[in-house]
Chain A
Amino acid sequence: MYTYSEFDKDFLAERNAQFRDQVERRIDGSLTEEEFRPLRLMNGLYLQLHAYMLRVAIPYGTLNSAQMEQLALLADKWDKGYGHFTTRQNIQYNWPKLRDVPDMLDALGEVGMHAIQTSGNTIRNVTADHFAGAAADEIADPRPVAELLRQWSTDHPEFQFMPRKFKIAITGSPNDRAVTAAHDIGLRIVEKDGQIGYQVLVGGGLGRTPMIGKVLNEFVTIDDLLPYLEATVAVWNVIGRRDNKYKARIKILVHEFGLENLQDEVAKEFELRKPLYDTDAVLGQLAAIAPDFASPAFQTASTAIYQTAYDTDPIFRAWADTNLAEHRADGYAIVTISLKKHGETPGDASADQMRLMAQLAREFGHDELRISHEQNVILPHVHKSHLKEIHERLRGAGLATANVGLLSDIIACPGMDYCALATARSIPVAQEIATRFDELKLEHEVGELKIKISGCINACGHHHVGHIGILGLDRAGVENYQITLGGDGTEDAVIGTRTGPGFSYDQIVPAIETLIRTYLDLREGAEETFLAAYKRVGVDPFKAALYPEAKSRAA
């Protein structure tokens, strides 16, 4: 249900008309809230602390300039002039009024967008690397297979009533930017003897019981992929636990049943299912999808302007060093536009900023934009000769912060500033950390560091896989923040380790500063990142710095 092609305007218009009618019937009293709630959730409309919230899908995090401009229009017309990009590669509007939502949905439909949420215990939307189709390190673009999986799972009769929801992520690069190890199934495109295949991970997930996915199969060919995944889901469907919502995810099955037993069962099931698959039909379907994700026509031109700017303009150079990534096409770069200006809300963009990004994509970016799960916006295909101008125009809009991958490039969920489920705030903690280190002018010296903050155990801010993770809790009616260290969301995924007792709202920023100063003192040189240093020395030196009383008591 997630590509534009399938979502022709008539279908969306009809669905929106239905929802408009449901809203009217809720208002006139013919629908109770109990009846209306599942309908509004299916249409992306949530009720938060202070207002409704509309969550708009951005499939594969990919959108064009017209769509970005429409998002800006929604922000201006029906919200308070901004939108919030999330780790789920969607945008949330925090202030819609119930009566306006049908109009918002119609406006989205005009550009082939929607807020329809896959919900319930089904296979959820498949997510992919935000650099897909652009990254130099990519073996193959994962999005066609992601789309194949989506089409295959959407109406699959066996997968409509599973023990629990099921999430799949896929990366086409050895450098995993899609956090595949934190999904029920993670797929990594790999190459063996010149042949492309899929490494299958199983049982990852964050939330209440965080676990890193394990390798179920090192190499599955495209011919075998669908029956193999079907076999995996089927085994879980039959033997997974349904008695307890918190134990029903496939990660618990991997844990309780054992990886090897699961591998055996899946292999048996696969043998039964493989002959039932029409491989040629599947390959044909994939071939039909591929053109939707075709490369733009890359240009060849001189990159001299770029080189001159890089050599002579230190501000441009600092930005280029942090915010550009290597593109697979000669003379091109991937631009990450930071939505993490120091002191601002991570992931928020104003309507004016959205329009500028759309304009830049149209002029210089083959009309393509991406949203990353790290809450930034990406221009995936930019010729280097345009970078200088892009940088200048971004600067004029407060969008040229040179901090991608650094300390202030923080992921933070909405937390108790918006979310009804939150146990503490997360946004102001992110703002204060970024502001503090901007004052100290330390973050470039600190280098690569990922801080991730969640406002409750649901872990929407991915705190378990932050190099420094922060989890906000409610301890006896007071906000309290637990720290985890050493988490990693890449191909070497690790769940972070808790340091010990949490910190109050007033203590959490100083505690983070203590951790960073401890790291700077003990690192073996500027090349040793926080994560590398942590792996070398372990948690103890950091604990000793965070809890000096405990140490003196033990002494």
Chain B
Amino acid sequence: MPRKFTPKVVTANHLLEGDVIYLTAKGTWSRRLEDAALYTEEAEANERLNFAATQADILVGAYLADAQAGPDGPEPTHFRETFRTRGPSNYAHGKQVEL
């Protein structure tokens, strides 16, 4: 039986800055996961990922990451994605201080 589809956001790294970005509902890119569009339908998620693949001048390595709906927008469900919203744990660098 195919695995049940879990909600996803489209994420990547910014081409010039290298930092983590998310695809919004407007088709723009945000540095905050809360601004991302959350896709509950697999077909739509794949379609948005294909769209991201056409944005090579903006980003590197787009993929679908698991997320869940929260009060302020999508939230990570896996620790790797949590770290990507924050930055490293050994220094106050990255999003945890820049956003």
For B20, give the chain A residue with the smallest CB separation: A50
Known contacts A29-B56, A51-B19, A98-B18: A418-B88 contact under CB 8 Å: yes
Known contacts A80-B91, A417-B83, A477-B78: A32-B56 contact under CB 8 Å: yes
Complex partner residue of B60 from A33, A50, A345, CB under 8 angstroms: A33
Chain A residues with Cβ below 8 Å from B60 are: 33, 47
Chain B residues with Cβ below 8 Å from A428 are: 89-90
Within 8 A of B (CB), among A39-74: 47-52
Chain B residues with Cβ below 8 Å from A50 are: 18-20, 84, 87-88, 93-95
The 6 closest A-B pairs by CB, nearest first: A417-B88, A51-B18, A52-B18, A345-B90, A427-B90, A50-B94
Report the bound CA distance from A494 to B79 in whole Å: 33
Report the bound CA distance from A27 to B78 in whole Å: 32
- CB-defined interface of A352-377 with B at 8 Å, one 1/0 digit per residue? 00000000000000000000000000
- CB-defined interface of A462-492 with B at 8 Å, one 1/0 digit per residue? 0000000000001001110000000000000
Chain B residues with Cβ below 8 Å from A95 are: 18, 93
**Shortest beta-carbon distance from B7 to chain A in Å:** 15
Chain A residues in the interface with B (C-beta under 8 A): 26-27, 29, 32-33, 47-52, 80, 94-99, 345, 416-418, 422, 425, 427-428, 431, 474, 477-479
Chain A residues with Cβ below 8 Å from B18 are: 47-48, 50-52, 95-98
Report the bound CA distance from A96 to B13 in whole Å: 13
Count A-B pairs with CB separation below 8 Å: 74
Q: How many B residues have CB within 8 A of the partner chain?
A: 25
Chain B residues with Cβ below 8 Å from A474 are: 79-80
Contact across chains for A425 and B89 when beta carbons are under 8 A apart: yes
**Shortest beta-carbon distance from B55 to chain A in Å:** 11
Within 8 A of A (CB), among B2-40: 13, 15-20
Chain B residues with Cβ below 8 Å from A477 are: 77-79
Complex partner residue of A47 from B61, B79, B83, CB under 8 angstroms: B61
**Shortest beta-carbon distance from B82 to chain A in Å:** 10
Contact across chains for B56 and A417 when beta carbons are under 8 A apart: no
Contact across chains for A431 and B90 when beta carbons are under 8 A apart: yes
Query: B57 in the interface, Cβ–Cβ < 8 Å?
Result: yes
Contact across chains for B83 and A416 when beta carbons are under 8 A apart: yes
Report the bound CA distance from A509 to B15 in whole Å: 38
Chain B residues with Cβ below 8 Å from A26 are: 15
For B62, give the chain A residue with the smallest CB separation: A33
Report the bound CA distance from A99 to B93 in whole Å: 20
Chain B residues with Cβ below 8 Å from A98 are: 15-18
Known contacts A49-B83, A49-B84, A478-B79: A427-B16 contact under CB 8 Å: no
